[in-house]
Amino acid sequence: MSNDERTFVMVKPDGVQRGLIGEIVSRFEHRGLKLVGAKALQLDEELASQHYGEHRDKPFFDGLVEFITSAPVFAMVWEGKDATRQVRRMVGATDPGESAPGTIRGDYGLDLGRNVIHASDHADEGANEREIDLFFDESELLDYEQATDEWQYE
C-alpha cells in the first residue's frame, strides 16, 4: 500500500460558518496525513451539480445543491497511507445522528442535512481522483517531503 494516496475533503458551509475549519484540519494533521492542497471558495450551481452528480435523481438533490452553494466551503487534498478510507472512518456515517462519537460528524453534527464535511467515498473506486481533478488544478497541489515522514511510517 502506498503512503501517498490522495483524497478530497471539503468543510461544508455549515462547518465554515460554525468556525470548525481549524478543528477539522487539526484532526487530519494529528493523524499524520499531509496537506497537499487547500483553498476557500464558494461553489456555483454547475460545480455543485457535477460534484453531487451521482445524487441527481434523489429527492434531496435540489436542497443539497442549494445548501452547498449558499456560503463558502473549504476544500482540501490530504495525502497518506490508505488516506481515502482512513479519512472516511474519521468523518463518520452520513447521518451525524448515527455517526460514532469521536468521528467528525459524530462530534460536531446532529442533522443529516448539516453534516459539516464531505470526503471522497473509498467504496466508489476513483472518486478521490475525480473529485481532486474537479476542484484543483495540478498547479495548486504540492509534492513535498516532511521532516516527520520517517516518524510516521516504518
User: Where does this chain bind ligand IDP (CB under 6 A)?
Assistant: 55, 60, 64, 94, 112-113, 115, 118, 121
* Residue 121 in the binding site for Mg ion (CB under 5 A): yes
Specify the residue, 46 or 98, whose C-beta has the smaller distance to ligand IDP. 98
Which H or E element spans position 86? helix 83-91
Pick from Mg ion, ligand IDP, none: which does 60 bind, CB < 5 to 8 A by kind?
ligand IDP
Q: The dihedral of CA 16, 51, 46, 67: what is its sign?
A: negative
As given in the structure block, the three cell numbers for residue 68 are: 452547498
Pick 23 or 121: Cβ nearer ligand IDP = 121
Task: Give least dist CB 113 to ligand IDP, A.
Answer: 5
The reply to whether 55 belongs to the active site is no
Judged by CB under 5 A, does residue 23 bind Mg ion? no
Residue 77 is classified by DSSP as: E
In the list Mg ion, ligand IDP, none, the entry touching 115 (Cβ below 5 to 8 angstroms by class) is ligand IDP
Output the CA torsion sign for 92, 93, 97, 99.
negative
Binding flag, residue 95, Mg ion (CB under 5 A): no
Question: Looking at the DSSP assignment, which residues form a beta bridge with residue 118?
Answer: 10
Residues in contact with Mg ion, total (CB under 5 A)?
1
User: Smallest distance, Å, CB 115 to ligand IDP?
Assistant: 5
Tell me the C-alpha distance between 21 and 10, whole Å: 9
- The three grid cell numbers given for residue 112, joined into one nine-digit string: 443529516
- CB-count exposure of residue 3 (10 Å: 0-12, 13-18, 19+): middle
Give the nearer residue to ligand IDP in terms of CB position, either 84 or 136.
Answer: 84
Interacting residue ranges for Mg ion, rule: CB under 5 A: 121
